[in-house]
Amino acid sequence: MALGAGTVLGTASAANAADDGFGLRIVQRGEGDPRMWYYRFQTAEIGWQPAVNVLLPDDYHVSGRTYPVLYLFHGGGTDQDFITFDRAPNDIRAWTAGKPIIVVMPDGGHAGWYSNPVSSTVGPRNWESFHINQLIPWIDANFRTYAEFDGRAVSGFSMGGFGALKYAAKYWGHFASVSSHSGPASLRGPAGGLQGGVVHWANASSAAVELGGGTVYGVPWDQRRVSMDNPCERVESYRNKRIFMVAGTSPEPTFWDRFNETAVLETQREFRGFLGRAGIPHDWHEVPGGHKVRADLFVRDLDGIIDRLRKA
């Protein structure tokens, strides 16, 4: 059962319960499940109350150990949120069973693009500030984590895969491993290709379902923001990190699947070209199928993450 669907499932003992802090006020919590704990916050960075699922290792409550952390980001769309990876066909509990890592799965907006937007008509939607300045230090303060570079990984699907790549470069010292599962890897696009297609899609989707007509990158684009967020312009920031990418080569015969995975495949290939020319090692997979999370590759990635990070 996914937590956080509008009910409080219980509270932990006072000694273990999480506290407010870093601009986050807890307005709802579920600490009754032995592994999946849930929190909803009031924060000035977001104009509504975003939530997070925190998936704990099986032995968290008895081991006394400190654990590495994976920040795992959902994709875009009105059906995507902090419960995405705990909702069929995904099965984050089974994928992580017996593995010594904490997995943090926050809201990122239906089309937030893991960014502080240029404009919004519906109040603040500063997802980047929420995740980086508030959520990460809050997690480190309330759970037994390694609050350091070698203690954190970031990964995501689709829009969340882009967010993972963006954060890993922009906040160089935060994450030792970055993964993108069917996530776009270039904002501007290669010559002869999409040519800014991902920026156009970020602006259009955020205007439609996130920002009430506002946009992530502005019209005309704020070119400095685009460059700061573009993996292909931040290549040196990936040096000495573990990098894992997945793209599908045969999308389903629907407009959205072809639209999404065609962009993913083209932009990941462009990014891989930059990494290769810079001599930066990376693990990549082009596999049949379209725009989805592949359980086998997710588990393979997770094992690589655990191998790279500081051990529990």
Is the model's pLDDT at 185 over the cut of 80?
A: yes
φ, ψ of residue 42 to 5 degrees: the values are -100, 125
The per-residue pLDDT for range 3-30, each reduced to its tens digit, is: 443 333 333 333 367 999 999 999 999 9
Percentage of the chain exceeding pLDDT 90: 89
Of the candidates 74, 76, 68, the residue with the CA atom closest to the CA atom of residue 53: 74
Active-site residue list: 158, 257, 291
Least confident segment among 11-25, 57-71, 279-293 = 11-25
In the prediction, which pLDDT does 81 show?
98
At residue 268's C-alpha, the angle toward residues 265 and 269, to 5°, is 85
User: Domain 24-308 is in which class?
Assistant: alpha beta
pLDDT digits (tens, 9 = 90+) for 30-47: 999 999 999 999 999 999
pLDDT tens readout for residues 205-215: 999 999 999 99
Q: Flag the least confident range among 57-71, 92-106, 112-126, 178-192.
A: 178-192
More confident residue, 193 or 122: 122
Q: What DSSP string describes the chain? A: --S-SS---B---TTT----BTTBEEEEEE--SSSEEEEEEE-TTBSS--EEEEEPPTTHHHH---B-EEEEE--SSTT-STTGGGSTT--HHHHHTT-S-EEEEE---SS-TTS--S--SSS-B-HHHIIIIIIHHHHHHHS-B--SGGGEEEEEETHHHHHHHHHHHHTTTT-SEEEEES----SS--TTTTSSHHHHHHHHHHHHHTSTT--SSTTTT-HHHHHHH-GGG-GGGGTTSEEEEEEESS--SSHHHHHHHHHHHHHHHHHHHHHHHHT---EEEEESS-SS--HHHHHHHHHHHHHHSPP-
pLDDT attached to residue 196: 84
